[in-house]
Amino acid sequence: MSLEGARAVVTAGAAGIGRAIADTFAEAGSRIAVCDVDEAALAAFRESRPDAIAVAADVSREAHLGAFFEAIEAAWGGADIVVANAGIGGPAGPIETIALDDWKACLAVNLDGAFLTCRWAARILKAQQSGLLLLTASTAGLFGYPMRSPYAAAKWGVVGLMKTLAMELGPHGVRVNALCPGAVEGPRMDRVVASESQAHGVDEAAIRRRYVDGVSMKTWVTAEEIADAALFLASPAGAKISGQALAIDGHTETLAP
């Protein structure tokens, strides 16, 4: 599954799932551009990939994202793959306890950030009449997710954006898909488990068990498994796949077992 000669953009690409996607794409032969808000993670990324474009940018800030894509266009003259990957977990709790500011902060990164990234991607890919726009949604964009209403609402929005843009951009030769990861081993889910443990009033081990109980294959997933699915979609093997929300999760039956 070669990406030889491709130019790939990954938001929030300095750590976590975005970093795994950037590394997998680079190993498949693609040039890489990432943005992130974590300066330390960006510095580590630059050190291991000195040829990559790595820019500090918050996806929810229009001017930041504009500067990132302008730098890409100046360096590469376009892009072939854009992964709108940035997202934050947002608050956990019954809806009556969720503060409006926390709701807005969650939607700002997960949904405004996806919109702004897609708008830039659409301009570039449509002009080229080719390419892939890949959005990182979540199984939270496919199921109800008690105590996580802002995140679920944002990720259902991401899936709706993907479906709509697949229709808008398909006639221009541009494919649009979404990745829906299940619970990914790592520091992000450690934080989510801690906050859900508080919201549900049960211990962390019980929250971890719930994620496994709701999944047919009784498993969590790894960032590398998400990156492998992204590579399949980005490679020639995915040439006719568009408008799909692909779950990489061991088959979620419910998020509320």
Q: Among 3, 9, 15, 234, which residue sits at the site for ligand NAD (rule: CB under 6 A)?
A: 15
Considering only residues 114 through 153, tell me which ones interact with ligand NAD, judged by CB under 6 A.
Answer: 136, 138
Q: Among 79, 107, 111, 189, which residue sits at the site for ligand NAD (rule: CB under 6 A)?
A: 189
User: Is 87 an interacting residue with respect to ligand NAD (CB under 6 A)?
Assistant: yes
Distances (CA, A) of 220 to 44, 148, 182, 212: 27, 19, 7, 7
How far is residue 140's CA from residue 111's CA, in Å, rounded to a whole number?
A: 13
Q: Give the interface segment with ligand NAD, choosing from 6-14, 21-29, 71-79, 229-237 (CB under 6 A).
A: 6-14
Toward ligand NAD, which CB reaches closer, 93 or 150? Answer: 150
Q: How far is the CB of 96 from ligand NAD (least distance, A)?
A: 24
HEC readout, the chain: CCCCCCEEEEECCCCHHHHHHHHHHHHCCCEEEEEECCHHHHHHHHHHCCCCEEEECCCCCHHHHHHHHHHHHHHHCCCCEEEECCCCCCCCCCHHHCCHHHHHHHHHHHHHHHHHHHHHHHHHHHHHCCEEEEEECCHHHCCCCCCCHHHHHHHHHHHHHHHHHHHHHHHHCEEEEEEEECCECCHHHHHHHHHHHHHHCCCHHHHHHHHHHCECCCCCECHHHHHHHHHHHHCHHHCCCCCCEEEECCCECCCCC
Q: How far is the CB of 60 from ligand NAD (least distance, A)?
A: 5
Q: Among 9, 33, 36, 122, which residue sits at the site for ligand NAD (rule: CB under 6 A)?
A: 36
Toward ligand NAD, which CB reaches closer, 135 or 166? Answer: 135
Q: Among 9, 55, 92, 109, which residue sits at the site for ligand NAD (rule: CB under 6 A)?
A: 109
Q: How far is the CB of 17 from ligand NAD (least distance, A)?
A: 4
Q: Give the interface segment with ligand NAD, choosing from 80-88, 208-216, 228-236, 238-246 (CB under 6 A).
A: 80-88
Q: Among 21, 53, 54, 59, which residue sits at the site for ligand NAD (rule: CB under 6 A)?
A: 59
Q: How far is the CB of 205 from ligand NAD (least distance, A)?
A: 17
* Residue 58 structure tokens: 């918050």
Toward ligand NAD, which CB reaches closer, 96 or 208? Answer: 208
Residues marked as catalytic: 151
* Residue 172 structure tokens: 């221009």
Per CB under 6 A, residues contacting ligand NAD are 11-12, 14-18, 35-38, 41, 58-60, 85-88, 109, 113, 136, 138, 181, 183-184, 188-189
